[in-house]
Structure 1
């Protein structure tokens, strides 16, 4: 029996591997891998941002200190942050004229970086024409600066997005809500994972590693663990999902409908869903309307084994019974524990359909750059569209 796989996502390279209970794990990387000859910092081995920092260093986006350290956990001043941003975005266009900050002399080491980041729209000063270069930059300032300099558009309902994403959303200053929501929606908001909560920590000082990780997200450099990237739930996206492309799989003999605008890396969804396409395992596919990742597969793993397995690699969040075109099915949402290939904290939403000895599995993952709540809605409609040629 052949398999049918569909992914639809921009800049995504999935690798699937079956675990002992038949659930597949997924490892995702960005578009740029750290090169073999990146600088060997003496203090980042084993650090959560190690791969990201090495990738940025090789590209010349960030640099370390003369003693071959990076000091990833160091908090940074506003001047040091300006220096990092100036180095990361040398070609960003100027938006405003220079200003003579009263507390930044012409001979100050960070004068040029401060002026450049101010003129490019990343950083601003304070009333009284001061910059406060030696003050620590706090997280809300750091991420607002990135979203401002990169011209990220604020979503229509920033409060809703922030309340869905952060347990301390009420602590985010009103002036920053739009840009923090924009940064969150773009997937560049880095937050240390906490048990049962996700904190924005607006008044906490930013660290060099957090800033580097945000730059990795902006520049599509791999190496930021998914659990450090805040996933925006995007509750304002309630637009209808149009399933306008229908295909009958010739190997498994089922018919399924796909969202309008979806194509595969090999071309037409309708053509490629007919047979197993091995290229789909490693090559990116495109969705014209939004970034999604959906996987449909038929395998010889028994339904009872997959649907009832006690999987130590994940924590079950919910389970419900249903039927798909008359076949018994189970819908499960899991949260990874980090033991397998999926990073800890990543959620998966899975359908298991009992095909009398075989199991059809439909799933989507809460991975970096994905719209998980939307993915679940799409998968629900696709699974409900399934019909089998008995």
Structure 2
């Protein structure tokens, strides 16, 4: 949605709300109260009340989605939060982004890893913990702390930097373990009921597979390494999370946001950039002065759209076009307010990214199976565009393509068995 930036391969996720954990206990209490949509439930709009009752019966309200976390000593997220301070993020994040680039300097990467050897070792130990649960904070809505996403990104990039530093066969096993750890982070984030986490998972997975390919082209991996990554991706695909999960979480977050709007907290929700955009488009005054009746009607529009998207979420992405268009038609026919201007703006892009993530994993399993002589996976049609996968096998390499609108062609060298 327009209140935040979706994660990409080159940036972390940033959210607007920074108040949780800042020490203002009174403000935190107010934020927490918004998890119960009392304002919407008191509405004179019967359709809004009906929709919220239905969501509550399904267990989809903010207060119903948070689940207790396990022991901090066994949890990856808790360990990363302890290991990575704000100072660590500020110092390492831009450098790691630079040293992972294809044109990066290997010497700079080695120097970085030498300086932060203790942190790398701690990251390795933490990511190997048995539990990987993230404190999503649905009860806080858009005011939740999202630092765990930055922690996951930093951990993944530090592990990949270490993997890319491998140059000799005896370093390959440790490098492969780092790749697997990064893929584990992507798998766990994929299950989180927040769009930001789901998009970041796709980005981490893409970056991880890209690093594996770079090392494959350098001849570091043998067929055993290819089989390990193949098995990991097959497991991920077998337990692939439905888009339903992230959409239900997104809906709960926006229900929380509408409660904030009702008490006059729109300015707390929007980022400075978003506020500037709304002011330039002469929309901010209108949004701030919206009546209760307009807010209620607009929330109905949003919830109707999400209902349609959730109903279609288990259909392959390429086959959802009509259902998605029908869902958004509700918003297109309504008076523009919060839903169209803030809350629906990036849902289609987020679901496309999730579909591309799945398609990319399928392409990789097909390519790895052909390049390493492994069992051919059952994937025949790209979920992103509905086109059949095309496989080209030459003497020294394998190429897999899904055509226009797919996740992109993948070329891998054949692996020694």
Structure-1-length-normalised TM-score: 0.25
